[in-house]
Amino acid sequence: MDQRLPVHGAQGDLLRLVAFGEAESRADLARLSGLAASSVSLRVEELIEAGLLAEEGSGPSRGGRRPRRLRLSPGAGVLAVADLGAHHARLGLLDLSGVPFVVEERPCEIAKGPGHTLGWLADAFDDLLAAHVPATVPLRGVGTGIPGPVDPATSRVVNPSRMPGWNDYPVAESLAARYDLPILVENDANLMAVGEARSWPGSENLMVLKAGTGIGCGMIVNGRLHRGRGAAGDISHVPVRSAATVVCACGHADCLEVHASGAALAGALAAAGIEVERTADIVALVNDAVPEATSLVRGAGRRIGEVLTALVNFFNPDVVAVGGSLSAAEPLVTSIRATVYERCLPLATRDLEIAPARAGRDAALLGAGALLLDAALSG
C-alpha cells in the first residue's frame, strides 16, 4: 500500500502539469514544459506504462488533428491530508490532481498532546482509506496542517501558543514512522495560502489572511510559499492603536489578536451581554444585522487594515485574499479594503485586489495536496 511515486527527472514535471490541469495533451505538455515533442511522447509512454497516466478519448480540435486527451490514471494513487484545529480536525482524501473526493470533519482535542493526536490522526486516515479506497490504489503522501508555527528546517512545532505539549515535537518523524512516504507538516495558515493561491492564476504574490478565532496570514512570493524561518506571516502580535489598553497572552499590549480576532470579538460581545460560542455565531449575528456585532466586525476590519497598510506597502502583492470563518461577515472585507485603499500608496494599490478568499473551507487541504505533489514529483 505504501510506495513512492516511481518518477524520475522530467516525468515529474509532466505529471504535475497534467495533475494541475494545465495540460491535457502531449502537445500541451510540449508547449508548457519546453521539452521537445518527441521527448514528451517518450516520457508519457513511460508514465502510461507505470500506470500513472491514462489516455481517455480525444479532446476538441483546435483547427487540426484532435489531441488524445491525457488524464491521471484513477488508480495512480491518493493523498491523505488533514487540517488540525484546536477542537476539530478536517480530514480529506485527494486524488493525485489534488482534488478532494472525501472530506470529513471530526472532533479532536489537540490539547491532548502530540502522541495521542497523531496516533488518532493516522487511525482516522486508515479508517477513511479502508472505507473509500480500494486496496490496489496506493497511498502516495500524508500531510497535515498545524495551528502553530512549524520550523521548515526540521518540521517540528516551535513555541505554539495553544498547543500544550507540542513544543519541539518531531511531528513529521512521528508520521514517517507509520508511513514510509512523503510527509508534509505545515502551519495551517500557510497551507490555506497555498490552496488559495491556486484560485488566483496569474497572481504570483499574494497575502492570504485567515481571520477566525485567531488571526493568521500566509504569504505567497513568486508563486511559492514563503516560510522565512518558520514564523513568516504571523501578524497576530503586531501592535495596533487603540483607546483601551488590553494586554495579550504574549505579554505585550494591544496586539492585533486581542482587538480583532474572533475570540476578541466574542469577548467584547459577551461584555455587551451577547453570548456567542463560536466564530460562526458572530457571522450569524452580523448577517442578522445586530448592530453591536456589525460595529465590532467593522472595527476589527479597520484594525486589520491598519496592519495590512504597512505590509502592503512593503510587500506590494497582487492580491490580498481574506479567508477564515470570520471572513463570511461581509463588513470585515469591506472595512479592510476601505482602510488599506485609503492609507496605502497609490502605487501599491494600483493593481491590488482585496477580496474574499475563493478556495472555500477546504483551502488548507488543497494546499497540503499541492505541496505534497510538489514534493513527490520533484524527487
Partner DNA sequence: CGCGTTGTCTTCGATATCGAACGAAGATAG
Partner DNA sequence: CTATCTTCGTTCGATATCGAAGACAACGCG
**By CB under 8 A, is residue 323 in contact with its own copies?**
no
Interface residue with its own copies, options 82, 84, 93, 217 (CB under 8 A)? 217
**By CB under 8 A, is residue 343 in contact with its own copies?**
yes
Interface residue with DNA, options 1, 6, 66, 177 (CB under 7 A)? 66
Sign of the dihedral defined by the CA atoms of residues 145, 148, 150, 155, in that order = negative
**Grid cell 496586539 in the structure block, residue:** 255
| Binding mask of the shown chain, residues 125 to 154, with x at each position contacting its own copies by CB under 8 A | ------------------------x-----
Q: How many residues bind its own copies (CB under 8 A)?
A: 43
Interface residue with DNA, options 1, 2, 51, 62 (CB under 7 A)? 62
Interface residue with its own copies, options 71, 237, 358, 361 (CB under 8 A)? 237
Q: Which stretch binds its own copies (CB under 8 A): 109-117, 219-227, 263-271, 273-281?
A: 219-227
DSSP string, 155-169: TEE-S-SS-TT-TT-
Sign of the dihedral defined by the CA atoms of residues 69, 70, 74, 79, in that order = negative
Residues whose CB is less than 8 angstroms from the CB of residue 317 and which lie 6 or more positions away in sequence, other chains included: 203, 205, 206, 207, 352
Rounded Cα gap, residues 284 and 359, in angstroms: 21
CA 183 and chain centroid, separation: 16
Q: Which stretch binds DNA (CB under 7 A): 65-73, 101-109, 121-129, 352-360?
A: 65-73
Residues whose CB is less than 8 angstroms from the CB of residue 206 and which lie 6 or more positions away in sequence, other chains included: 193, 196, 197, 200, 219, 220, 317, 318, 319, 320, 321
61 binds, among DNA, its own copies, none (CB under 5 to 8 A by kind): DNA
Q: How far apart are the first and last CA of the chain?
A: 19
Interface residue with DNA, options 5, 44, 181, 189 (CB under 7 A)? 44
Q: Are 37 and 48 in contact (CB under 8 A)?
A: no
DSSP string, 273-290: T---SSHHHHHHHHHTT-
DSSP state of 247: B
**By CB under 8 A, is residue 271 in contact with its own copies?**
no
Interface residue with its own copies, options 182, 212, 233, 367 (CB under 8 A)? 233
**By CB under 7 A, is residue 41 in contact with DNA?**
yes
Minimum CB separation of residue 365 from its own copies in Å reads 25
350 binds, among its own copies, DNA, none (CB under 5 to 8 A by kind): its own copies
Rule CB under 7 A: which residues touch DNA? Answer: 9-10, 25-28, 34-39, 41-45, 58, 61-68
